[in-house]
Structure 1
């Protein structure tokens, strides 16, 4: 036998309406609580009785006039004199030269000499060298060469190649950088070569000649 439910005694048929109604009331109460404003009853502020000093401080209104234009530049007046006016103060130069004195004739013994710079040789029979040899050169570099501080902190090292000319008297000129490492290191290498003592000049066909040399200078961090 099948059991049948009585609709009048079913308690869950009003469950959904009551649940929705309760949610609506709860949300409305929360919104009303947040939107509720409380006003404190105070007398209105009377401006006429307030201790304001608005009328006591009057700010003056100043009208600035535009800057005046600079006065026009007046050209100086140039006076034009007549050509007939004679100038009395003349400049006289006395060279103490009589008209009877003869001027000696300049006689040249030969054609004028034209000075030609001696040739710079890249390859010679006897190469130029530092006074005392390479050991003396390395000792000079060790005593006079300074490692710049900034390249040291940055960890920069390397070999600078310099090219320079050694004259017949052993002096140094035309020092230039062939291969660079760092501007500060290059500058230090140039200075130490320019200030070096005189070298022994190169020899070619038994005569001292000007020669060109390329020299490496090594900067290495320990």
Structure 2
């Protein structure tokens, strides 16, 4: 009669599994044992060598450094040129600035002081002979003719600046210019609402022709003249 074994009672059935698990466990323990590190917890240092004894006086040694003076440049002797007897000798004469008994002393009354005449500027209203605009020489009322010719000159040379038109700038520019003693146009002053309008007013006045200068007591003088220039958009 053949005996049959119960499969559940067989001890060799799971032997391979147990072998693998045991092998992994042994390898893990071996790895941990090899990689294990330990450190000392307490750190003790001997600091007695860092403390100085106050009773010990130390003398700081003094070092003296010897410096070598720089080498002096050799002195080159001055070359002496020997002049021949035939060479002409140029002598320099220095006149003394000190006075002697023969020096003539000038008195204050003998000295003439030249006074330069100051630049006279006479107002347009009070001047005796007003400047004459070209074309007004034969007119009786030269002031009225001057004003009329000024208006014609402004209308002829007037140009409204394009930039001022785009910006909508308008207003009155007060101007003043000087008619010099030779009839030329001198300093031009202007004041208005914008720089563009001021520049245009200055350009118009700079084109004024040369005039006959104004006179005060028969002498040509500077005469200021003021006139407003109005800029208005239509």
Q: Shorter-chain TM-score: what band?
A: 0.3 to 0.5
TM-score, with structure 1 as normaliser: 0.47
Give the TM-score normalised by structure 2: 0.45
Q: Greater strand share, 1 or 2?
A: 1
